[in-house]
Amino acid sequence: MSKSEQISAIVIDDEKNNRDHLNNLLSKYCGNINVLGMACNATDGLNLIDQTKPQLVFLDIQMPAGSGFDLLSSIKERNFEVIFVTAYDQFAIKAIRFCAFDYLLKPINTLELQHACNRVIDKIRKNRLDTEEQIETFKINKQNQHKRIALPSAERLLFVDTSDIIRCKSESNYTQVYLRSGQKQLVSRTLKEFEDLLADEGFIRVHQSHLVNISEIQSYEKTEGGYLVMKDGTQISLSRMRRESVLEALRS
């Protein structure tokens, strides 16, 4: 990865000395990591994530008024990698369950930090190239009027017409894609990526967790706060903030 291809990152740790020390190490030994900001607790960390949209978060675990695990639990759709940096080794298994990329113990070993950063850079770069390749393939297919996309998983690469997709549901950093055939495919892409990919194909975000094919909507039910019934019988709640835009799309 060239110097110009930097990875944006933030540091969340309740101790200023630890934040400054890690920032200095990254600046000195990990030149491709660009630290956009630092936060001293989970609340400020969430705000900083929302403001900066980092690709990588260096996260302490034990902090007052909310642990690093609490912070991650409050994020519905995570679009960044996490490297835990902590003085305690007993949380390693839990960190794995939270899909942490790596787990570094304080005091930080410089070589371990460099190794973790190099590996996470490779992963982020590969994910970006895979996404760009899929988007480019999608654009080419659109030009050929074959509206098809590839849905990659660990076991296979499934090619589908976009019209055969009923809905997409967020599963943390993954998206479950439901097809008219009854099949479903779990894809290592966020719902936001699918929203961008299918923006011109008649799909609309109706909820933080759901993207639906407008042509597959059977009805809008006004009871219980309002929800959609899809042609396959699935009921999907409408978020209050998206209801008007969804209804407008249905009317048009």
* Residue 137 confidence (pLDDT): 55
Strands (E), the chain: 7-12, 33-39, 56-59, 81-86, 102-105, 148-152, 157-161, 165-171, 174-179, 184-187, 203-207, 210-213, 217-221, 227-230, 235-237
Three-class secondary structure of residue 44 per DSSP: helix
Residue 146 pLDDT level (bands cut at 50, 70, 90):
very low
Please, what is the average pLDDT of the chain?
85
Domain ranges of the chain: 7-130, 147-251
CB 211 within 8 A of CB 194: yes
Token code pair at residue 74:
């409050």
Listed residue (53, 52, 71, 55) closest to 63, CA to CA: 71
Q: For residue range 204-235, what is the model confidence (pLDDT) as tens digits?
A: 999 889 999 999 999 888 887 788 999 999 99
Q: What is the DSSP string of 75-128?
A: -SS--SEEEEEES-STTHHHHHHTT-SEEEESSPPHHHHHHHHHHHHHHHHHHH
Three-class secondary structure of residue 4 per DSSP: coil
d(CA 179, CA 94): 34
Q: For residue range 180-211, what is the model confidence (pLDDT) as tens digits?
A: 999 999 888 889 889 888 888 889 999 889 99
- pLDDT above 70: residue 124: yes
* Residue 1 confidence (pLDDT): 43
The distance from CA 120 to its chain's CA centroid, rounded to whole angstroms, is 15
Task: Kindly calculate the radius of gyration of the chain based on its CA atoms and give it in whole angstroms.
Answer: 21
CATH of domain 7-130: 3.40.50.2300
Q: Is the dihedral of CA 133, 138, 143, 148 positive or negative?
A: positive
Q: For residue range 62-91, what is the model confidence (pLDDT) as tens digits?
A: 998 899 999 998 887 788 999 999 988 888
β-pair partners for 48: none
Architecture of domain 147-251: Beta Barrel (2.40)
* Residue 36 confidence (pLDDT): 96
β-pair partners for 83: 58, 102
